[in-house]
Structure 1
Amino acid sequence: MTNPTAAALTEDERIRLEAAVFRRLVAHLGNRTDVQNIDLMNLAGFCRNCLSNWYLDAAQEAGLPVSKDQSRETVYGMPYEDWKAKYQSEATAEQKAAFETSKPQH
């Protein structure tokens, strides 16, 4: 579906807006450390890891030297292992059951 307003934007303007949206999403997720990745997967079908993988995919497609650790740090705002130790909790039985039911495909 084409947005008529978006069609009036130049390619550079569209890219700048998309980059701003990405930064805002990453900042929002950074502020919502209470929301676990499994919750995101169960409700939206993607999580912080997915977002960092998409970032890495885009870097690789563009031929840019970005590592998996760097892509995760971009999304998590810190090394992934630090984020897990600080914010990640064990998934509950209900979360695990919901994940098994939905098995998000992406």
Structure 2
Amino acid sequence: MRDLDGLDDAVAAAAFRRLVRHLRHRSDAENIDLMGLAGFCRNCLSDWVEEADGSMTKDEARAIVYGMPYAQWKAEHQGDATPEQLERMRQSVSKNA
């Protein structure tokens, strides 16, 4: 069995790009819901891109993940979180530690 660190960088990059394209397409899957289910969202992914690059700004990384400026995506696709969504997110994120 191959381990994650042994995965070819080109394969990993292709999978990453497919994930980002999928998240761009599925704008109906709000970040709050992703956080509530998986403990990460598009913002987390863009933070990881920023950290991995080392020279990119948060806004640049978010534009890569969102396919547009974050403020525009937020205005077009993000609603207000309900108390239930916020509680699910809190419980889910607590598992990340």
Count of paired positions: 95
Identity %, equivalent residues: 49
Q: CA deviation at 1:92?
A: 1.4
Correspondence 1:1-106 to 2 at 5 A: 2-3=1-2, 14-60=8-54, 65-104=55-94, 105=96
SS at match of 1:74: helix
Q: What's the TM-score once normalised by structure 2's chain length?
A: 0.88
Distance (whole Å) between structure 2 residues aligned to residue 86 and residue 48 of structure 1: 15
Letter of the 1:102 counterpart: S
RMSD in angstroms over aligned alpha carbons?
Answer: 2.0
Distance 2:23 2:38 in 1: 13
Q: Aligned letter for 1:86?
A: E
| One-letter amino acid of the structure 2 residue matched with residue 29 of structure 1 | L
2: CA distance, partners of 1:101 / 1:43: 9
In structure 2, stretches of 5+ residues that fail to align are: none
What is the letter of the counterpart of residue 36 of structure 2?
N
Instruction: Determine the C-alpha separation between the residues in 2 that align with 1:72 and 1:100.
Output: 22
Find the aligned partners of 2:16 and 2:91 in 1 and give their Cα distance: 29
**Whole-angstrom CA distance in 1 between matches of 2:89 and 2:56:** 30
More relative contact order in 1 or in 2 (CA 8 Å, sep 6+)? 2
Q: Which has the larger radius of gyration?
A: 1
